[in-house]
Amino acid sequence: MKRRTTLRAGWMGACLLAVTAPAASQAQSTFNHYDAALLSQETYVNAIVENAVRVPMRDGVGLTADIYRPDAEGQFPTILVRTPYNKSSADDIENAKRYARRGYVLVMMDVRGRFASKEAPYYAYRHEADDGFDTDEWIVKQPWSNGRIGTLGGSYLGYTQVSQATKRNPHLVAMAADVTSSAIHQGWTYVDGAFHLGFTLPWGAGVVHGNAGQNVGKVDYAHLPVIEADQVMGNVNPHYRDWLEHPLQNDPYWKNISFEKEAKKIKVPFLVVQGWFDIFLRGALDDQINITRAGNRNKHLIIGPWVHDKYLGTRKGGGSFDFGPEADLDTTRIYQAWLDHWLKGVPNGVEKRPPVTLFIMGENKWRNENEWPLARTRYTRYYLHSDGKANTASGDGVLSTTKPGSQTPDRYVYDPADPVPTLGGNVCCSSVPSGSRDHRSIETRPDVLVYTTPVLTDAVEVTGPIKARLFAATDARDTDWVVRLIDVHPDGVAQNLQDGILRARYRKGNDRKPTLVDAGKVYEYDIDMWATSNVFLPGHRIRIEITSSNFPRFDRNLNTGEDPATGTRMVKASQTIHHSARYPSHVVLPIIPR
């Protein structure tokens, strides 16, 4: 979320990044409900702008908004955009006028403590739910409001929507967001015990430090202790340090900040555009499940082959692979059509669409689905095999649906002073490589175990949530386990698709008191590898990598068992991965029948 002052970095999310219409017939068919001919044709020549309007909150603090409305008498539906990235950027102003000329009032607000909203200090996330609710209440009392409110924006701007929607304001009619979720603790800040360092440090301690956009300064991911890494950037950031001091998901600190348990309260039509390589994908998928199971039939989700930032809606996706012309998606039309229908009653049919639309990588095509996860999924175990020499891609590691018998376990040494570097994946808001990339350089390291199927003769589609179960031991008091899914191309290119991490002390859950491990004892570790959609084509191979670090996306486990926030001492850990009849380590892949 670093780049947030223009285009999708601002309030429009992905709305104006890609304005090229889908190039292929399948994409046109999949998204025909969003055709330009179905958009509202209402047009006003001029937009009236009221700048620096003070909007009072329940505690007396005033927030500052700019209001863009049609140059005409009457009452109109309102689109609310609440941003920490400056409401007054040139691109955002033009976009706001665009909506005003189409018969909307657009309220663009700096959130509490940021830019023009200076009456109270900024603290990430804390006030967004209540401030959003109060802003809705203020809007419907204005003479230009017809009482119908929609929201728009991505990332943090999407979070401001989700958080306020859990308060159930009756005037909120529809929401449109991209790359966002309700789960601030699990996903934005931590992932199964590991601290999301590659995001929380440059963005949380830098970009959103203080009143306005800060100079992030030098980001030293390797600095120890982690809790003082903000000082290297020239900031002592309260919310960054509080995140590290409150690692448990059920800590009272996260109340009114992380809304994963409250997301089911969202009853209004809600559209989210996501990326398979977005940092918030896991939370967005959980939101889809929780909101639809609670009865909201108008919760829609679109997932493309994209990363979080500026490549959303483009065929390149943000990594090093080209996903073809169908990956170019005109999200401008998608969001306008959604708001046109729910706020204006335009009969464009968006409410009739299947709730889930997925980009199937490998085949590089879009497909509509009726639910998530897909009801026809065949969850299939792929077991690890080797004679104890699975280190590197040149080792003897095999991945197979056959259960293992008596086999020699694999071993490697994890050194936190020399961690496996992050190379792609669900990374955001830093110079760390993100998206889908070639992992062959990673697979030359002896601290990376590699297990690969034989060459496929038939296509295998993997679409859905991925899980791993490792039977593993370490001589350390605590350590991390990282598992990654790879598509190996016929030329040897190793394309990363998805991964997961689990901190050993949180093996019982990130809402349970952490417990250290006994050296040498074999434990069962269940690792959430998030989700993907990819067809492994004939001639390709399915591969799993196993290691103990993914740095700097996640903070390094120092292996000592000390507090990860304040620890400075590092020790090497000797790791053992078992795969036998007694300890059948495996991954569970969601196979879709062809």
Catalytic residue (choose from 278, 438, 480, 499): 278
Cβ neighbours, 10 Å, residue 213: 18
Helices (H), 294-345: 331-339
Catalytic residue (choose from 209, 308, 540, 579): 308
Nearest Cα to Cα of residue 525 among 192, 118, 301, 218 = 192
| CA–CA separation, 351 and 356 (whole Å) | 12
Number of helices (H), then strands (E), belonging to the chain: the values are 9, 23
> If you search the block for the tokens 């009653």, which residue do you land on?
345
Where in 71-185 does DSSP place strands (E)? 76-83, 105-110, 145-154, 172-178
| CA–CA separation, 593 and 31 (whole Å) | 24
Q: Which tokens belong to 18?
A: 């890609």
> If you search the block for the tokens 């809790």, which residue do you land on?
227
431 as an active site residue: the answer is no
Nearest Cα to Cα of residue 99 among 179, 159, 15, 164 = 15
| CA–CA separation, 103 and 42 (whole Å) | 6
> If you search the block for the tokens 């039977």, which residue do you land on?
471
Nearest Cα to Cα of residue 291 among 262, 258, 318 = 262
| CA–CA separation, 76 and 47 (whole Å) | 13
Nearest Cα to Cα of residue 302 among 272, 338, 347 = 272
Amino acid at site 421: P
308 as an active site residue: the answer is yes
End-to-end CA distance of the chain: 37
Cβ atoms of 500 and 192 within 8 Å: the answer is yes
Helices (H), 23-110: 25-30, 90-100
Cβ atoms of 470 and 481 within 8 Å: the answer is yes
Cβ atoms of 336 and 102 within 8 Å: the answer is yes
How many angstroms separate the most distant Cα atoms in the chain? 80
Cβ neighbours, 10 Å, residue 506: 22
Nearest Cα to Cα of residue 534 among 493, 480, 592 = 592
Give whole-number Cα distances, 278 to 85, 274, 498, in Å: 20, 7, 10
Nearest Cα to Cα of residue 218 among 202, 204, 203 = 202
155 as an active site residue: the answer is yes
Give whole-number Cα distances, 36 to 14, 273, 339, in Å: 17, 19, 14
Quote the crossing angle between the two packed helices 156-165 and 128-139, to the nearest 10°. Answer: 70
Q: For residues 216, 222, 224 and 230, what is the CA-based torsion angle, rounded to 10 degrees?
A: 10
Annotated catalytic residues are: 155, 278, 308
